[in-house]
Amino acid sequence: MKVIKDIREMQSISNALKKEGKIIGFVPTMGFLHKGHISLITESKKKSDVTVVSIYVNPTQFSPSEDFEKYPRDFKSDENLCINAGVDIVFYPNGDYMYSDEHKTFVITEELSTKLCGISRPEHFRGVTTIVAKLFNIVNPNIAVFGQKDAQQSIIIKKMVEDLNFDIDIIIVPIVREVDGLALSSRNKYLSEKHRKDAPTIYSALTKAKDLIKEGEKQSRNILDFINKTLLSVPDLKIDYVSIVNMQNFEKVETIGTNTLIAVAVYFDSTRLIDNILIN
């Protein structure tokens, strides 16, 4: 496995691979890899000849009050996980090198980026689309793999790719969960033992909501009431949002039909966790 730190070198490796007719699969990450990431890598390996994983904690998607500085980093462990997962190339750029001091260009997706997580994180998705556009231009992949856990991010990236005509297939991979149902996240390590024990309630509220819908409840209001009540029964849990929306445009829906996304964001102290479930 190669570790590439230089942008130009990554570009010239990708160009050479493309000339050889190789299909490049790409998994952009912020590192601190877990089984969720490995599932993305596995999917990329299935669908491509060469898998590139980028590891870069992107400052522009964190607000000043967020956890950029203390976001967990462990390159040695990430490197080993990548080797074991059969990654071909890790792109691991020097932080200072990705954005110049004079950086002025941003990719924005109007409307989609201001809803759900965009309400409490107004600059977040602009940072995401900008770094992903940059990485796409550096890695030049044929396919790129994202996780359903960041449902809003996945849909925004798909929209960006469609709107800006990136010649890249976007693949979304299902959420990987702990045995008790908690969605895997690099941020789970911030949780206290007590909070870690309580956190699976997020997913159980979602699955029970899905059961209620299957049993015939179609009113978003009632489902929202149920989820909110379940979550508020958890000590220390603060709700950021619980939303039932159309999967394409994130507009709230009153009656639950197909293509509905139920998305949740909560805090335990300053640790923000998200989860979601699709109703098809």
Which residues participate in catalysis according to the annotation?
A: 37
The set of long-range contacts for 37-41, using a CB threshold of 8 Å and a minimum separation of 24, is: 37/81, 37/147, 38/81, 38/85, 38/176, 39/147, 39/173, 39/174, 39/176, 40/145, 40/146, 40/147, 40/173, 41/82, 41/85, 41/86, 41/87, 41/145
Residue of the chain from 54, 130, 152, 220 that contacts its own copies (CB under 8 A): 130
CB of 97 to its own copies, least distance (A): 11
What DSSP designation does 45 have? H
Q: Which helix (H) or strand (E) holds 11?
A: helix 7-19
Sequence-distant (≥ 6) Cβ neighbours of residue 131 within 8 angstroms: 28, 56, 58, 60, 61, 98
CB of 246 to its own copies, least distance (A): 12
158 in contact with its own copies (CB under 8 A): no
109 in contact with its own copies (CB under 8 A): yes
137 in contact with its own copies (CB under 8 A): yes
- Amino acid at residue number 163: D
* Residues between 79 and 108 that touch its own copies (CB under 8 A): 99-100, 102-108
Range in contact with its own copies (rule: CB under 8 A) among 10-18, 79-87, 200-208, 220-228: 10-18
- Closest by CA position to 221, among listed 258, 275, 262: 262
Residue of the chain from 65, 165, 258, 280 that contacts its own copies (CB under 8 A): 165
* Residues between 234 and 263 that touch its own copies (CB under 8 A): 249
Beta carbons within 10 angstroms of residue 46's beta carbon: 12
Residue of the chain from 2, 15, 174, 192 that contacts its own copies (CB under 8 A): 15
Residue of the chain from 51, 61, 140, 220 that contacts its own copies (CB under 8 A): 140
Residue of the chain from 21, 64, 216, 235 that contacts its own copies (CB under 8 A): 21
Which positions lie near its own copies, rule CB under 8 A? Answer: 7, 11, 15, 18-19, 21, 99-100, 102-112, 129-130, 133-134, 137-138, 140, 159-160, 162-167, 249
